[in-house]
Amino acid sequence: MADRALFAGRSFAALLFDMDGTLLSSIEAAERIWSRWAVRHGLDVEAFLPTIHGVRAVDTIRRLGLPGVDPEKEAAELTEAEMDDMGGIKPIPGAPAFLAALPANRWAIVTSAPHALARRRLAAAGLPLPEVLIAAEDVARGKPLPDCYHLAASHLGVTAADCAVFEDAPAGIAAGEASGAAVAVIAATHLEPMATPHPLIEHYDEIVVRLDAAQRIHLAARD
């Protein structure tokens, strides 16, 4: 069958990927660690867990405004716990082959995880370490603000407006939108359908990537 162009046939200078929930699934490990933390602080675990995805740990904790809690210290301790728990980490279907089809200087990972945790999760999932990895420590303001996507694009020598962003969580989607990039939503880890104006993709086996003579990236949905 013929492939259907995404983004009205646009081409892109580079692709920018969130990590957790977008290139790999870490939800089992993350929710184990955060559930224990939430119980210690008397939070409603079921209500709290949906708020952790797509944002930096320090921002999640700071937003709660818990008395006597040092967000920086707590975030560091949570990261250490997550570093020790790689159980259930796995790639989103099709992600390894999709990344392999891209030139190394045409894609980046933009994650709310710290560098050390991002590297360990990528290794656990069998995914390559990109030339450009923007992590929690690299920006003063995390998602949903667009700083991280602008920084990744600049490291690749392009503008965010000439990129497509792949995200799964509302904060990351908002960051991609605010950066001026085109946005695609990966739904592989979604438990409920998401209403979005952006292309909604279950996994990377649904997408075809092609490079033109100028090495610009064209994306199509496989029929």
Residue boundaries of the structural domains of the chain: 4-25+89-221, 27-83
Asked if residues 8 and 197 have their Cβ atoms less than 8 Å apart, the reply is no
Q: Which residue has the higher pLDDT, 29 or 109?
A: 109
Classify the C-alpha dihedral 193-191-168-24 as positive or negative: negative
**Residues with catalytic function:** 18, 20
User: Before 67, cis peptide (omega within 30)?
Assistant: no
Task: pLDDT band for 4, please (50, 70, 90 cuts).
Answer: low
Q: Render pLDDT for 171-208 as a digit per residue (tens, 0 to 9).
A: 999 999 999 999 999 999 887 778 899 999 999 999 99
CA distances from 79 to 44, 73, 168 (A): 21, 10, 21
Q: Is the pLDDT of residue 3 over 80?
A: no
If one compares 114 and 223, the residue with the highest pLDDT of the two is 114
Burial class (CB in 10 A: 0-12, 13-18, 19+), 172: buried
Residues 6+ apart with CB under 8 A from 168: 18, 20, 21, 22, 53, 54, 185, 186, 187, 188, 189, 190
- CA dist 72 and 112 (Å) reads 14
Nearest-10 Cα torsion for 56, 190, 98, 30: 40
Is 2's pLDDT higher than 50? no
* Topology at the third CATH level for domain 4-25+89-221: Rossmann fold (3.40.50)
Q: What is the pLDDT of residues 135-172, one digit of tens each?
A: 999 999 999 999 999 999 999 999 999 999 999 999 99
